[in-house]
């Protein structure tokens, strides 16, 4: 494990924040090692007879992972080489292209350490999904639920990590109506490839609930959903022709260039082509 401390950034910080969150520390999963994370680390070190230096090195990582007790079967939920080979064969794609997309477009892993699939809840989508089900969102919108129900996109209410499930649960209980829970599930993006729940039926799932159930099983099921998505929306043709810009625009939207998704995938493709 990489040693991290105050002002560090990146995936190791995100993982640290995820572990701390599971242990009850209420910190946002930002991927930035700020003051709140520093205070939580020092508190953890103090309570576990570690040197209280705020640095997360080998000893602190070891105790953190041990205390958070990841689900013992988590490794059974991760994608393997054969899964990517099967996907490439099924969809008539180059394996190097599949690996490139998986590297750039997946979120690293599809599950939190507690075994639940990664999600991000979108309150503006929830607003639309309620309307589609005949429920007027403005009639139930108030200050107490402003963090889960709003008419326009904003990232200000994101809390990241497993705490997104708190927002999802809060949204699903705004009314004692099964359609509200369905709308809430449809308003989150799920798994490694962060596919929105409201796409479920277009992707061939019987319901939003059936789609969500599949996301809990294995990253293989999340990859299956990704395959259905790029097929349903025509992105797969761009992937077959290795047109990275068109694929990125299709999958990520017109802002793809700002994040250089096409360049990242092209570079990853060359890497896997040279070193399969």
DSSP 152-176: S--STT---GGGHHHHHHHHHTSSS
Number of H helices, E strands in the chain: 13, 3
- pLDDT at residue 74, rounded to an integer: 65
DSSP-based three-state secondary structure for 196: strand
pTM tops 0.95, yes or no: no
Helix axes 178-186, 123-132, angle to 10 degrees: 130
Rounded Cα–Cα distance for residues 39 and 46 (Å): 11
- pLDDT at residue 92, rounded to an integer: 97
Q: Are 160 and 30 contacting, i.e. CB atoms less than 8 angstroms apart?
A: yes
Domains of the chain, first to last = 11-68 (1.10.101.10)
Residue 247: both structure tokens together: 């694929």
- pLDDT at residue 187, rounded to an integer: 98
- pLDDT at residue 274, rounded to an integer: 85
Give the residue from 263, 261, 92 showing the smallest Cα distance to 193. 261
Rounded Cα–Cα distance for residues 169 and 274 (Å): 46
Per-residue pLDDT of the chain in tens (276 residues, 90 and over written 9) = 789 999 999 889 999 998 999 899 988 888 999 999 999 999 999 999 888 889 999 889 989 988 887 555 566 788 989 999 999 999 999 999 999 999 998 877 889 878 899 999 999 999 999 999 999 999 999 999 999 999 999 999 999 888 999 999 999 999 999 999 999 999 999 999 999 999 999 999 999 999 999 999 999 999 999 999 999 999 999 999 999 999 999 999 998 999 899 999 999 999 999 876
Q: What is the dihedral of CA 242, 245, 247, 250, to 10 degrees?
A: -160
Sheet hosting strand 195-196, strand order edge to edge: 119-121, 188-190, 195-196
- pLDDT at residue 276, rounded to an integer: 65
- pLDDT at residue 146, rounded to an integer: 97
Rounded Cα–Cα distance for residues 118 and 112 (Å): 6
End-to-end CA distance of the chain: 26
Rounded Cα–Cα distance for residues 42 and 224 (Å): 42
Range 269-272 contact pairs with CB under 8 angstroms and sequence separation of 24 or more: 269/96, 269/97, 269/99, 269/100, 269/242, 269/244, 271/100, 272/95, 272/96, 272/99, 272/100
């Amino acid at each position: 494990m990489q040693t991290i401390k105050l002002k560090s950034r990146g995936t190791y910080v995100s993982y640290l924040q995820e572990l701390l969150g599971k242990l009850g520390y209420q910190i946002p999963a930002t991927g930035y090692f700020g003051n709140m994370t520093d205070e939580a680390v020092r508190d953890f070190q103090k309570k576990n007879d570690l040197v209280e230096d705020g640095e997360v090195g080998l000893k602190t990582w070891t105790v953190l992972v041990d205390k958070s007790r990841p689900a013992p079967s988590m490794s059974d939920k991760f994608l393997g080489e054969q899964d990517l080979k099967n996907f490439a064969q099924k969809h008539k794609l180059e394996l190097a292209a599949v690996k490139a997309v998986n590297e750039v477009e997946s979120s690293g892993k599809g599950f939190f350490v507690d075994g639940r699939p990664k999600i991000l809840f979108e309150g503006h989508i929830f607003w639309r999904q309620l309307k589609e089900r005949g429920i007027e969102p403005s009639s139930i919108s108030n200050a107490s639920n402003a963090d889960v129900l709003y008419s326009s996109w904003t990232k200000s209410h994101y809390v990241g990590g497993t705490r997104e499930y708190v927002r999802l649960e809060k949204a699903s209980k705004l009314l004692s109506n099964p359609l509200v829970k369905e709308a809430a599930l449809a308003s989150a993006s799920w798994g490694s490839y962060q596919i929105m729940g409201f796409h479920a039926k277009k992707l061939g799932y019987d319901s939003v609930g059936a789609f969500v159930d599949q996301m809990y099983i294995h990253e293989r099921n999340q990859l299956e959903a990704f395959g259905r998505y790029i097929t349903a929306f025509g992105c797969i043709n761009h992937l077959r022709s290795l047109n990275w810009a068109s694929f990125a625009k299709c999958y990520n939207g017109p802002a793809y260039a700002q994040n250089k998704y096409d360049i990242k995938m092209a570079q990853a493709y060359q890497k896997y082509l040279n070193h399969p």
